[in-house]
Structure 1
Amino acid sequence: MTTEFVERAAPDTVIVATGSSQPTFPRGYHGLGIRAEDVPGWDDARVMTSTQVLSEAVGPSGTTYEDPGDRVLVIDDGEHHWKGVGTAKFLAEEGRTVHFAQPGGDPGGELTGPTKAKLHRDLFGMENPVELHTFATVDRIDWPTVTLQTQGKAVELSDLDGIVLAGFHRSNDGLEAALSDVVSEVRVVGDAVAPRTIKEAIHEGERAAREL
């Protein structure tokens, strides 16, 4: 979708549902006062997103598949939802060695009870269990070694093949501003407002359509 296309179509109203995308540095770290420049070696690491490593499993998604390798660090930056634990579980089930690091203490803490309980059983009870690092953030990188800071202690993870980001997204909100001088009414819904879950996206999209 471009402003040129909208100008040619000349609609009265545009509903912007452009979603969100994953950043190349843990977005949730910003709330902890950690920026990419605060982590020596971050730019030298092999970093990819959960969308990239899962794209081959879910079929064509417009995202280029990335193989994270055999030894992987999955980072949940504080979202504590299905994405982090689900990605770690998927990669471990493929036989990879998976480390899972998050700044909180409860993996998938935002999930409901039965869903979370099953994921915990799968994560830590499988033949190839995920190694959990709670209250942990990336402190520095000397690739392929990553040093985590966890409650004042340094934990080194060596010989990693890839880092997979599986946390907060950022809104794709550029189109809203670009259309402000083109269309009389612009409505923004779903993750384009703020990254959340599919429930909010469906609700806001339906409500916007009904109101029109």
Structure 2
Amino acid sequence: MTLPGCATTGPDYIPASPLLDVPLSVRVRDSDAAKRVAQFEIKRDWAALGALAAPYVARDPGDGDWRLVLGYARLQQNNYAEAVAALAPLVELRPEEVDAQNLLAEALRLSGQSDRARLVLERAAFMHPNSHVTRFLLGEVYRENNLLERARTAYSEAVRLDSSFSLGWFGLAKVLARTGPREEYDLVLQRLRALDPELAGAVAEPAAPARR
């Protein structure tokens, strides 16, 4: 799973996923290990990132920061079962940790456990009402379950909380392509093109209304 919206350049670059409030390398207290985390993110070497994190988690299962690094690496490798195994205990250890809740929910959703993902996200939305990422992920769950009005509301809330969040505009455009109105779809797509032209190109055109 390679996420769109991840910057990958800059001399003092700290890799930042659009699904994380706090970059992975910032979480790691050891400066040398933090540099390696950042390097693996830049290279998108998720296997190496997981291999780096796994011994830390084995030595100290209560180390939530390394658990999150490991869960993120496994999620990026599409290894959803291991991502869930890494992240679920962290959500129990740190119920206030929004990144852990969001990543756990995404791993559950992508592994076909949509109902569990929705429960995690609805709890996270209650605990963290200002998390645009949580609202976006709720939109994804609702859209996949054809709850389009709920999805539209969730995506709209995501971009209200962060108007530069291109994934939120992308989700909203996908819903509006199915539900309309066309005028709102056009405005949302225009905003998305300004933020991320490549992502905007992945939005399907709305179906033409049936002729009478």
TM-score normalised by structure 1 residue count: 0.29
Larger proportion of strand: 1
CA radius of gyration, larger in: 1
Larger proportion of helix: 2
| Larger relative contact order (CA 8 Å, sep ≥ 6) | 1
TM-score normalised by structure 2 residue count: 0.29
